[in-house]
Structure 1
Amino acid sequence: MAAWSHHETIINGVRLHYVEAGEGPLVLLLHGFPEHWYAWREQIPALVDAGYRVVAPDMRGYNVSEKPHGVEAYRIGTLVEDVRALIEDRSEEHATVVGHDWGGMIAWEIAARHPNVVDRLVAMNAPHPAVYRREIRSGRSDQRRRSWYVLFFQLPWLPEALFRTFGRRTIERLLRGAPENPEAFDEEAIDRYENACFQPGAMTSMLNYYRSLFRGNLRSLLPGESRPDETTTDGVISQPTLLIWGMRDRALSPRLTEGVEQWVPDVRVERLPEASHWVQSDVPGRVNELLVDFLEDG
């Protein structure tokens, strides 16, 4: 078992907590909603054993990282800058970036905006933005129905009130209600996520990631659809990319894995029929094999 240490640093004006372990080329692990660095508990030892230095942050607003107020603090350009600055803070010019869910969305964006910073990209159950927009607009896709929760999260105070009212049951339903592996989230994991989610200000900060989508973040990387803070407009990801997808994801359609080659020429797509949205927790052994194999390929 790899030993890891906990640290804090000021990134982009915000205090971020992160876990670090191992030595070698840097691999940055970005979690999704409603998790934090602990989402990577199964991947950290495997990557360290394979000869990599791993950094897994609590992204702004999550767990014990600082929770700036207001939706504007969670715009995608700001989140991308957090990642770029964290790589620099760890005395590196570039890194492999691995992201799941929201972390995957940020990983796609930093790879497009700062291609010199990202050596390799791994996204897990996080679609390329152009593919997501294609499915949302398509009359043949059920993704619009699956994305109902994104609209619900736009409401003021009500989502927070429901999370508070149902407390631990909400976290258990989110995490244990979907995985195909009943051992994916044990009591320790539920305890950790409950403690993180219900810290003062945490739930609003976490929901602000979704609320920021309707403050200018919903634009994808499609040609000609740039934002003032973008450094790229073509949306093409040039780095070697691995897309890992749990095919039993209830929130994201399997169709989001189709046609990604248009935007990512050097992509390898691994569809795991036995896994849910929480793919790295459902089938950690298989995900670890794919990660190490991809990182060591070339």
Structure 2
Amino acid sequence: MYEDIKHSEVEVNGVRLHLAEQGEGPLVLLLHGFPESWYSWRHQFAPLAEAGYRVVAPDQRGFARSEQPERIDAYTVLHMLGDLTGLIKALGAEQAVVVGHDWGAPVAWSAAALRPDLVRGVVGLSVPPLPAGPSPLSAARESFGDGFYQIYFQEPGKADAELAADVKASLRRVMCGIQPDGEPRPWVVPEGGTLLDTVPEPERLPDWLTDADLDVMAADYSRHGERAFTGGLNWYRNIDRNNELMQAFTGLRIEVPALYVVGERDLVNAMVPAPVIAYLLSELTPKLHGHVRLPDTGHWTQQERPAEVTAALLDFLKHLEG
């Protein structure tokens, strides 16, 4: 399956990254989130390639088949931007359209704001552009308590060990269990509980996820053994550090064409309500092409609704081509 996708490795910014690629033409970079990989874009490769684009989805630093730097502070947003700029150059391109989901979205939004010379269009799935401000973790603790998942992830080794004990089961439980009834709510670990207590084994897989899909993702993550999820978790351990680093760019808007897509049942809506998202988009993306809200769709946007997401991407790319 997906035999037309080519796999390679490239070293950028001092880190070896795994790439999945298909097609020829203008470059489109697809950036995944947590706990995902290049494979989360499996449904988008062929349609975008057939439309005349060179589609490249890296495993971002620390994830799946890519290298994991040891230090926690090697996972800041500026490191991610270094990876992105180095990747565009390594691929022999001058510019790219950058599409990001979940954690990939802040990288995409930041790249569009700081390097509009390299990013000719930006798409964020799930996570909207967020300006720097007071400590995000302090605000989250005040709103959702100490059990909020981003705070729970801060202790090195804790969530790492829980998730790595059975990689495939962890992926299955997280992807099926953070919204078991489809309603947006913050992901909170009850006092005295563990992360996996909040995501029980599903009775059956949703129609957008197969056991074979989980096998592919689990095999990629398992390469890192007991550190299977540590790279991704280290992104969360830099949330406040990222906020401090980005203070220098307060007030900077995203001056390239933009698109935002979110599921109406995405848990992000419980953290950033729809009216706030609309306000942020109006303030930060003056060239917004569209704000798409997908009904009956949770957090795993491009996997849950591949046809709708692909159609939105193709419409945006057509808009960019004028």
Give me the TM-score of the superposition, normalised by structure 2.
Answer: 0.82
Partner of 1:13: 14
Report the alpha carbon displacement of residue 157 of structure 1 after superposing the two structures with TM.
1.4
Decide whether aligned partners of structure 1 residues 265 and 8 sit closer, same or farther in structure 2, where only a CA change above 3 A counts.
same
1:1-298 correspondence runs (5 A): 3-130=4-131, 144-145=143-144, 148-165=148-165, 167-177=167-177, 178=179, 182-200=206-224, 201-214=227-240, 216-219=241-244, 225-226=247-248, 232-253=249-270, 254-255=273-274, 256-259=276-279, 260-267=281-288, 268-297=290-319, 298=322
- Work out whether residues 36 and 62 of structure 1, in 8 Å CA contact, stay in contact via their aligned partners in 2: yes
The percentage of counterpart residues that share the same residue type is: 36
For residues 3 and 165 of structure 1, what CA distance do their matches in structure 2 show?
33
Amino acid at match of 1:269: H
Q: What are the superposed Cα offsets for residues 30-62 of structure 1, whole Å, 9 maximum, x if unpaired?
A: 000011100100011110111111111011111
For residues 112 and 42 of structure 2, what CA distance do their matches in structure 1 show?
24
Report the alpha carbon displacement of residue 2 of structure 1 after superposing the two structures with TM.
7.6
Q: What are the superposed Cα offsets for residues 186-236 of structure 1, whole Å, 9 maximum, x if unpaired?
A: 11111122223333233211110100113x113485xxx21xxxxx44330
Decide whether aligned partners of structure 1 residues 291 and 110 sit closer, same or farther in structure 2, where only a CA change above 3 A counts.
same
For residues 94 and 218 of structure 2, what CA distance do their matches in structure 1 show?
35
For residues 127 and 83 of structure 2, what CA distance do their matches in structure 1 show?
19
Amino acid at match of 1:296: K
Q: CA RMSD in A?
A: 2.6
Amino acid at match of 1:266: K
- Work out whether residues 129 and 220 of structure 1, in 8 Å CA contact, stay in contact via their aligned partners in 2: no
Q: What are structure 1's unaligned runs of at least 5 residues?
A: 227-231
Q: What are structure 2's unaligned runs of at least 5 residues?
A: 183-204
Q: 1:77 is paired with a residue of what secondary structure?
A: helix
Amino acid at match of 2:234: N
Report the alpha carbon displacement of residue 171 of structure 1 after superposing the two structures with TM.
1.3
Deviates more, 1:273-282 or 1:165-174: 165-174
Give me the TM-score of the superposition, normalised by structure 1.
Answer: 0.88
Q: What are the superposed Cα offsets for residues 248-285 of structure 1, whole Å, 9 maximum, x if unpaired?
A: 11244343522121111111210112211101011100
Report the alpha carbon displacement of residue 154 of structure 1 after superposing the two structures with TM.
0.1
Aligned residues: 287
- Work out whether residues 164 and 228 of structure 2, in 8 Å CA contact, stay in contact via their aligned partners in 1: no
